[in-house]
Structure 1
Amino acid sequence: MQKTVIIIAGPTASGKTALSVRIAQLFKTAVISADSRQCYQEISIGTAKPSPEELATVPHYFINSHSIKEDVNAGIYEKLALQYTQQIFEKNDVAVMCGGTGLYIRAFAEGIDDMPVIAPGIRTHLNEQFAQHGLVWLQQQLQERDPAFFATAETQNPQRLIRALEVLDATGQSITTFRSATRSPRNFRIIKMGITLPKELLHQNIHHRVDLMMQAGLVEEVRSVLPYREHNALRTVGYQEIFSYLDGYISLDEAVEDIKTHTRQYAKRQLTWFKKDPAFEWFDAREGKEMITCLQQKL
């Protein structure tokens, strides 16, 4: 059999983790996480890591592999995930990749361009400006200074906007200049499977998951990483809203509602990203058997 990586992607709370564990069990293999936050040891509740039972069922890579003190990006992920893949291929013909971070999956499947090194002061300054002036300021800056990139950017994602601005500040050039769009050939086959749920059901899952996170101690987890609040991994849904609560800007109930709203919006952005890739074959998350049958026919 040709060496193969099965990629299972889709929006948050659609059931990717459980399905990837089932498939890894079936092929007696391991799962590589493609989630940009689950690699950090210090944040578990807000990142919806696989449960201890799931982690014990099949081997997992890129879960609890780094400290929040470290910076991990798509370029680093590409190198690590390729190493993990080769390790798995030493014993097995199939590896499973599971996650919702589209940029990481693309980096693994196609390669990613080397980005310029950014002086730490530039990012610090932009983070301070963002904290002071908010998302609208970032959007206006990028629209004025790099309208071509802004037209295709994730304009609701402050991380992406800050990244584009820091490249502009450091090099005087658009981030698009450093994207050659040349694909790196892989010496293994990639099968891309997308899963989702009807919108109402997905939203129910999201709301239920947020309620469970709160019961599990999300506020305490966020409080424990306050010293690292400028880290990119914490500039995301579930952490920013609790920071606002701890800062006294909103009530806890408002923070919970904001997390639910922002998670729904994030799930929509994830779907938009993955749907742009025609290589994905889509399944209803409740029809796991259908996906498994399809995989067995392909392998």
Structure 2
Amino acid sequence: MTRPPAGSARVALIVAGPTCSGKSALALALARQVGGTVINADSMQVYRDLRVLTARPDPQEEASVPHALYGVLPAAESGSVAWWRAQAIAAAQAAWDGGRVPVFCGGTGMYFRALTDGLADIPQPPPAIRARARDMVAQMGPEAVHALLREVDAETAATLRPTDGQRIARAWEVREATGHGLAWWRREAVLPPLGARFIAIRLHPPRDVLRAAIARRFHAMLSHGALDEVARLLAQDLPATLPAMRAHGVPELAAVLRGVMTLEAAAEQAIRLTGQYTKRQATWFAHHALAAADDTFIHEKRFENCESEQQMERWTNKIISFVINRIDAGQGFP
């Protein structure tokens, strides 16, 4: 295919949408067609201990085109938006240097936001301050700490739900460690977005189709060793607060292994909670543009009523044609 005209902005593709919406298959198809590198934009697929439960691309798929940022962190570490942004920008540059097109694929909205809009450069508080903030929330309750936060950082407190203990702890630790609130940092210290011309695809399957896909995939995960994967994770004796320990399916299958839940009940609960999460993902994407910088081009395609492989294949081919045409023409949307 023809490359973008000389002097045009470098192209990067975004494939976004809720869990189990077909993002990975589409990203792989696009990467094969345009000479791309698939770059993970899912906060759980970065953990190497969770290949099965996070539905990471299998080894054959990873070998068919270059992949980046899949399974790169141990479960004992915590990824972050700032960490991912730095790694993703480096991966995109490596792709361009190799004459390839970065294809960002995932469902973590804040990762895409950091990529296309930039990110507040918030210093990481010392571990002792972080621990104190979480202890405060655990002992006093989130509403009480929210009230204290309102006294010292009303601007940030106004953006947080009084029951959101995790975000309240984060706001408190940043205020204590830096003397400035999160709202100040987000306004005054912003890392720039990736310099690229984005072509973005958002997948939006019907809710009933998505629910059925989630159930099928979870049962397939069980047959491919999800329970053994969780057993290996538990053997590391990691804190339950780590992101990998809260991945969909991990708490439920851990309960099975501890003898406090049946496998049937665990599967039912994991499927239900994953469905609730995909609803929140879809809501986020519906209210946030995937790309917002002035030099960004974006086009959105929705998968509506794709209930068969044939329908999905037709949609995939249409999207591939759309992307190739936009790359060749150096355009965004008409």
TM-score (norm: length of structure 1): 0.85
Given candidates 249, 258, 270, the residue that maps to 2:281 is 270
In the other structure, the counterpart of 2:302 is 283
State how far apart, in whole Å, the 2-side matches of 1:14 and 1:140 are: 39
In the other structure, the counterpart of 1:177 is 184
Maintained 8 Å contact 1:30/1:95: yes
Is the counterpart of residue 10 in structure 1 residue 38 in structure 2?
Answer: no
Further displaced range: 288-297 or 45-54: 288-297
Q: What letter matches 2:323 in structure 1?
A: L
In the other structure, the counterpart of 2:204 is 196
- Tell me: CA distance 1:35–1:5, structure 2 relative to 1, closer, same or farther (3 Å): same
Maintained 8 Å contact 1:36/1:233: no
Maintained 8 Å contact 1:102/1:274: yes
In the other structure, the counterpart of 1:207 is 215
Q: What letter matches 1:117 in structure 2?
A: Q
Q: How does 1:1-299 map to 2 (within 5 A)?
A: 1=4, 2=8, 3-92=10-99, 94-124=101-131, 137-138=141-142, 141-142=145-146, 145-146=149-150, 149=156, 152=159, 160=167, 162-168=169-175, 170-171=177-178, 174-180=181-187, 182=190, 184-226=192-234, 227-228=237-238, 229-278=240-289, 279=291, 281-284=300-303, 286=312, 287-299=315-327
State how far apart, in whole Å, the 2-side matches of 1:203 and 1:216 are: 20
Deviation for aligned residue 1:209: 1.0
**What count of residue pairs does the alignment treat as equivalent?**
296
- Tell me: CA distance 1:175–1:60, structure 2 relative to 1, closer, same or farther (3 Å): same
Identity of aligned residues (%): 31
Maintained 8 Å contact 1:30/1:58: yes
State how far apart, in whole Å, the 2-side matches of 1:155 and 1:24 are: 43
Q: What letter matches 1:38 in structure 2?
A: Q
- Tell me: CA distance 1:127–1:263, structure 2 relative to 1, closer, same or farther (3 Å): farther
- Tell me: CA distance 1:161–1:14, structure 2 relative to 1, closer, same or farther (3 Å): farther
Q: What letter matches 2:273 in structure 1?
A: H
CA deviations over 1:188-228 (Å, ceiling 9, x no partner): 21122101211100000011111112222222212212222
Q: What secondary structure sits across from 2:103 in the alignment?
A: strand
State how far apart, in whole Å, the 2-side matches of 1:220 and 1:13 are: 22
Deviation for aligned residue 1:161: 5.1
Q: What secondary structure sits across from 2:12 in the alignment?
A: strand
Further displaced range: 238-247 or 36-45: 238-247
Maintained 8 Å contact 2:146/2:162: no
State how far apart, in whole Å, the 2-side matches of 1:27 and 1:20 are: 10
Deviation for aligned residue 1:250: 3.6
- Tell me: CA distance 1:282–1:71, structure 2 relative to 1, closer, same or farther (3 Å): same
Deviation for aligned residue 1:27: 0.7
Maintained 8 Å contact 2:171/2:182: yes
Deviation for aligned residue 1:240: 2.5
CA deviations over 1:47-102 (Å, ceiling 9, x no partner): 11012221121110001222223332111111111111111111325221101111
What are the ranges of 5 or more consecutive residues in structure 1 without an aligned counterpart?
none
State how far apart, in whole Å, the 1-side matches of 2:146 and 2:263 are: 32
Which has the larger Rg?
2
RMSD: 3.0
CA deviations over 1:216-265 (Å, ceiling 9, x no partner): 22222122122223322322322223334445554333222221111011
State how far apart, in whole Å, the 1-side matches of 2:222 and 2:73 are: 24
Further displaced range: 161-170 or 231-240: 161-170
Q: What letter matches 1:268 in structure 2?
A: K
TM-score (norm: length of structure 2): 0.77
Further displaced range: 13-22 or 274-283: 274-283
Q: What secondary structure sits across from 2:36 in the alignment?
A: coil
CA deviations over 1:9-63 (Å, ceiling 9, x no partner): 0000000000000000001221111111212222211111012221121110001
Maintained 8 Å contact 1:9/1:100: yes
